[in-house]
């Protein structure tokens, strides 16, 4: 295992911008490289882990932002493909669920990109999927949500 170097002076802002020592990292290929070695530990801390060193970083909200949603199909056969600010792409499915936190008045929508790593849905992306929402009975009550890859994802926080 690579030696632990402590805390790296890296922070990911809520808008998805990566910062080093307080300054934005302007080279996207470098950020993409860092993102490939990003993990989240069971205690919730975010780490950059390479074969040579590992260190904790600060993430204000989620490490990625879903900036695009491509929709194919309709109804239960619909597929929602999200693309992040770092050009990573996932289809909402069992391994990449859409998760809603917050309140009904102020929902905070995310999609799981990799285990423990989520992308916050940018507001226009969330509005786009809300426009495709349908009502489905789940657990004896009507829930508003969207279908993707044969799964239904409620678009309201769990009570």
Q: Is residue 145 part of a domain?
A: yes
Domain that holds residue 45: 4-59
Q: Please report, for residues 27, 69, 73, 111, 122, the alpha-carbon distance to residue 153 in angstroms, rounded to integers and kept in the order given.
A: 35, 15, 16, 10, 17
Quick: pLDDT tens for 85-133. 999 999 999 999 999 998 888 999 999 999 999 999 999 999 999 999 9
Contact by Cβ (8 Å): 121, 111: yes
Quick: pLDDT tens for 7-66. 999 999 999 999 999 999 999 999 999 999 999 999 999 999 999 999 999 999 999 999
Checking DSSP bridges between strand 4-12 and strand 54-59, what pairing results, if any? parallel
Picking from 23, 39, 59, the residue at the C-terminal end of a domain is: 59
Contact by Cβ (8 Å): 82, 125: yes
**pTM, full prediction:** 0.92
């Amino acid at each position: 295992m690579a030696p632990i170097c402590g805390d790296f002076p890296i922070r990911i802002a809520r808008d998805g911008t990566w910062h080093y020592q307080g300054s934005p990292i302007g080279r996207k290929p470098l950020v993409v490289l860092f993102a490939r070695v990003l993990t989240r530990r069971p205690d919730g801390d975010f780490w950059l882990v390479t074969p040579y060193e590992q260190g904790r970083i600060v993430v204000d909200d989620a490490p990625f932002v879903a900036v695009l949603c491509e929709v194919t199909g309709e109804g239960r056969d619909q597929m929602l493909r999200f693309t992040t600010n770092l050009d990573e792409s996932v289809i909402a499915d069992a391994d990449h669920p859409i998760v809603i936190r917050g309140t009904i008045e102020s929902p905070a929508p995310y999609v799981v990109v990799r285990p423990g790593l989520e992308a916050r849905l940018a507001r226009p992306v969330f509005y786009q999927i809300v426009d495709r929402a349908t009502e489905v009975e789940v657990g004896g009550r009507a829930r508003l949500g969207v279908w993707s890859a044969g799964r239904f994802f409620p678009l309201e926080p769990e009570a």
